[in-house]
Amino acid sequence: MSFLFRIEKNKSPCPSMHGAKSYEFVIREVLILKENYDKQVLWESKVSAEDRIPWEIEEQPLFEVTISEDKMLAYLHLHALERKTVQLSEVVARIEQMSIKARIEFAAIQQELLVPTYEPVIVARGKEPIPGKDARLEIYFSQQVMSEFFEVGGAIDFRNHLRIPTVNKGDVMAKKFSPIDGVIGYDVLGSVTVPDPPKDLLIVAKSNVELTPDGTVIARVQGRPRITGGKIKTFDVSTSYIVSGNVDIETGNIGFSGDVTVYGDVTDNMIIESLGNVYVFGNVFNSTITATGSINVRGNVIASKLYSGFFGVLFNRLYNTSKLLCDYIEKLLAASKMLTEAFEAKRQTLRFGQIVLLLLETKMKEITATVKELLYVISNIQHIKQGEYEKLKEISTIFSQPPKLLEIATYGFVQSFLALLRDTHNEVARMQEEKVEISINQCQNSELKSNGDIVIHRDGVVLCNLLSAGNIIFRSDHSICRGSRLEAGDSISAKVIGGQTGANSVLKAKLKIRVKKMYSGRVCIGKYCTDIFEPVDNTTFDTQTLKKHG
């Protein structure tokens, strides 16, 4: 073995340093240098002629046993054998010394000793834990309303094309399969490794549904099967509220905790709020429809607002009013508590009802107006489905009558009102269905929002704002889109965009946009946009396409 000391001053290859004050040397081999016997040299170091620099060779071990970072494998790494042979017993002794408890693979050790590869060889293995299986849910009904056309008497029936999912009493709607626990494992040191616990699935059955001990969901009545909720799945069979004619001043606004079917039109300035699906066989004029499920309109939609799924919850008046009152009542409780403590500090006594009235008449006047709005919303629901929200209506009425509130109000009474408001708000939120869509034939000057797809079957849209968390799909080859803004969380499949004259349309999607013909307008995929000034035919826009345009 040779060593080289680099002398910076006179380039001498030997450690002779006569006449020099200080020099530098560099380590070139695997050896240990010590400056003046006591200090180990690890890097370049300045020395003088008087310094003593002893050195010694650092011997490499004949073999090493190492454990992987996750402690699931142990390796034997055999180094070059120049002085003596490694015995099997030495390797085994070293493994035992390292407290390795896993089964030793003697054959692998012996093979490496006889025919060395000088590469790490696995000599012991832990046992990986086997993960469990999460609970799963099998659903045996369609969650979407289908539009199917059938031939009746030699002609296509265009009037009755909606196929609403239906179950009969006794039908199995779904089945829950319980989670299966995993199998524990161990590492090479014998430590137990536990798999992640499987996730369970909570399901709730409403009054129209039976949940058996083995997880089978059975319909108790005939109706539309539905599943709502996120982490907690709620099963129900929805009954329908049917309007045989128009929704107008005579019927009043409609609020129903199920499906709503209208065989006529929805006339000017009317509201339909459904905790289910809404089916309109006529037209919708200057009205608002919110549904926690899907919305299907057979006729024309003019100057109206349609909100389904998440947006149906978001724009639901009961949801919004109860949520707003929750915030107000929380502030009322905090303020009344502070006032009570202030009066007690001054040794003054004031009834809690007086404190509440004082706050309602001064700093929190908006509570009274919001309570009246809640009572109005509840009254629209009550005349349709008696028995629901009775307690909420009772306490809200007391809040709107100061003399009664003065006598009855306590801190616990106001807290119970807050709890009812929270329950109402959460109940409406849980009614959001997963697979929803807005299905129309045509619309003008309207706003449509859905957390599922928006499907246009016939003429198209003019001067509209469409927002879909899924896809926006135009079915007919002659469907037009003019002066509108379309935004989809997935894709847009359109036919004819724009025209020879008129306002441009803006199409925005996350994945892709397909058009049969586009005269002009703006197209955006994610953050990339391009303006279309000349007509294009049968074009698909995606991120790569718009990058080239940019």
Q: Looking at the domain assignment, is residue 131 inside a domain?
A: no
Q: What is the pLDDT of residue 469?
A: 92
pLDDT digits (tens, 9 = 90+) for 144-175: 655 554 444 444 444 444 456 778 888 899 99
In this structure, the answer to whether residues 265 and 414 fall within a common structural domain is no
Give the whole-angstrom CA distance, residue 48 versus residue 435.
83
Give the whole-angstrom CA distance, residue 141 versus residue 292.
18
Q: Looking at the domain assignment, is residue 87 inside a domain?
A: yes
Q: How many domains does the chain have?
A: 5
Give the whole-angstrom CA distance, residue 411 versus residue 404.
15
Q: Looking at the domain assignment, is residue 75 inside a domain?
A: yes
Report yes or no: 123 and 99 within 8 Å, Cβ to Cβ: no
CA distances from 506 to 161, 258, 503 (A): 31, 35, 10
pLDDT digits (tens, 9 = 90+) for 395-443: 899 888 888 888 888 899 999 999 999 988 888 887 777 789 999 999 9
Neighbours of 323 (CB within 10 A): 17
Which domain, by its residues, includes 334? 317-430
Residue 265, pLDDT > 90, answer yes
Give the whole-angstrom CA distance, residue 161 versus residue 150.
7
Q: Looking at the domain assignment, is residue 130 inside a domain?
A: no
Q: What is the pLDDT of residue 172?
A: 92
Query: Out of 33-42, 50-59, 362-371, which region has the weakest mean confidence (pLDDT)?
Result: 33-42
In this structure, the answer to whether residues 388 and 460 fall within a common structural domain is no
In this structure, the answer to whether residues 347 and 308 fall within a common structural domain is no
Give, as one character, the DSSP assignment of residue 499: -
pLDDT digits (tens, 9 = 90+) for 313-324: 877 888 889 999
Q: Is 100 exposed, middle or buried (0-12, 13-18, 19+ CB in 10 A)?
A: buried
In this structure, the answer to whether residues 460 and 520 fall within a common structural domain is yes
Helices (H) and strands (E) in the chain, counts: 10, 44
In this structure, the answer to whether residues 15 and 158 fall within a common structural domain is no
Give the whole-angstrom CA distance, residue 232 versus residue 250.
39
Helix (H) or strand (E) holding 136: strand 136-139
Q: Looking at the domain assignment, is residue 348 inside a domain?
A: yes
Q: Looking at the domain assignment, is residue 193 inside a domain?
A: no
